[in-house]
Amino acid sequence: MSASFAKKTAGQKRGRTLTAIIIPTAVSVVLVWLLMRGLSWQGLVQSILSASSWRLALYALIALAVLWLRAARFRMALPAPKPAAGQIFGATLVQNALGDLVPARLASLGSYVWLMNRRFSVATESAAATFIVSFVFDLLTLGPLLLLATAVRFGIAAPQGGSSLSLGWIAAFALIFFAASAAAAWWLGPLTRWFAGMPRALARGRENSVWARGAAFLERIAMSMEIVRGQGILPRLLALSLAIRVGKYAALLALTEALLVGAGVTAPHPNFWDLIIGVSATELIATLPIPAIGQFGVWEGGMVGVLVMMGFPRETATLVAFGVHGITTAYEYLLALLALAGLIVFSRRGKGR
């Protein structure tokens, strides 16, 4: 009976594993096929291969600098003793490559916390707190830039100038968003502690239950967040996060220009503000629980849809979507593999001493 049950359980696990692979693959294939209907794969690949080399190099340099700033933000938020800058940079490269592997950046969070805890002896709650703080600051800096991009794209910079919004009003709204961002960041620890009260209530006094352990973990994260607040570094974190956000779009603009200029596209190119709107909407779509391999198909579909709605030709939108996602993914995974190799080599050297 036990052998039969074990075989049945193993068969169920294999079935779930196959389902977890087959369904996302099928979704990605179908979405990519729908996006490429009527277009030439050969033309798309040739356009990507003919991308401007110096603009690609510019993209690679800016993107690498942005990742270094992300690592500096992680290190700034960590309590003492802090791991070396190079170690955190390696962990940042690894978690960044896994951002689209599953929705809600869970793979990024898990890999970052694991590396910081197992490799660099950082407490799990401290690592999780710094990741969550960084993620929240990423969201907070998006609001003002997205508002400004929307106002410029559909207001002041519209073909007919069809908006009565002045630059002063736009700046005022942006400042309000910045103030709201700072307030939310300041209260992040207390809010997390308040959320910890929910599983604590569900535990009903059972200290060894899953709910009680979850509440205790959230309370430790809240304490770590309050330590970050107590260090007086929130303004610097916000400024660093804004630089990261602007650098990200600057890198994508260089990459977009590399693709379109190299392909000889004479139609209008997406500008800086277009990319803020397009990438923001696309990343929001990619966070939905749609099963797809690395969000391929979902990401491209979102970008093509947004750019087409903004008036760009479908061919241009498709080249930007597939080129940007393909090149950024390949580059990020290359950096992650190099970082993993470096972390393994230096770890072995450290043990050998």
What are 83-118's pLDDT values in tens digits? 889 889 999 999 888 876 655 566 777 788 888 888
Domain residue ranges in the chain: 41-347
Taking residue 71's Cβ as centre, other Cβ atoms within 10 Å add up to: 20
**pLDDT, mean of residues 179-199:** 70
Higher pLDDT pick, 16 / 310: 310
CB 326 within 8 A of CB 28: no
Higher pLDDT pick, 278 / 233: 278
Higher pLDDT pick, 296 / 166: 296
- Six-digit token string for 293: 């391999």
Percent of the chain with pLDDT over 70: 73
Phi, psi of 145 (to 5 degrees): -65, -40
Taking residue 162's Cβ as centre, other Cβ atoms within 10 Å add up to: 9
pLDDT at position 90? 92
Long-range contacts, 122-128 (Cβ 8 Å, 24+):
122/78, 122/83, 123/224, 125/217, 125/220, 125/221, 125/223, 125/224, 126/78, 126/79, 126/224, 127/78, 128/221, 128/224
Q: What is the mean pLDDT of the chain?
A: 78
**pLDDT, mean of residues 200-219:** 70
Q: What does each C-alpha distance from 97 to 127, 183, 334 come to in angstroms?
A: 18, 30, 9
Query: Which of 191, 84, 185, 79 has its CA nearest to residue 134?
Result: 185
The CA R_g of the chain, rounded to the nearest whole Å, is 23
pLDDT at position 93? 93
CB 152 within 8 A of CB 273: yes
pLDDT at position 164? 42
Q: Tens digits of per-residue pLDDT, 35-66?
A: 888 777 888 888 888 899 999 999 999 999 99
Higher pLDDT pick, 208 / 250: 250
